[in-house]
Chains A and B, each alone.
Chain A
Amino acid sequence: MRLLLVEDNRALLKSLKKGFEEEGFAVDAAGDGEEGRFLAEANDYDVVVLDLMLPKVDGLTILRGLRKAGNPAHVLILTARDTPENKVRGLNAGADDYLTKPFGFEELLARVRALLRRKYRVKNPLLTVADLEIDTAARRVRRGDEEVLLRPKEYAVLEYLAHRAGRVIPRSEIWEHLYDWQDESTSNIIDVFISRLRKKIDHPPLRPLIRTVRGAGYILKGD
Chain B
Amino acid sequence: MNWTQFFAMGGYGFYVWSSYGLAAVILILNLYLPLHRRKTVRRLLREFVRLKRSSQPGSE
Does A pair with B? no
- Using a CB–CB distance below 8 Å, which chain A residues touch chain B? none
- Using a CB–CB distance below 8 Å, which chain B residues touch chain A? none
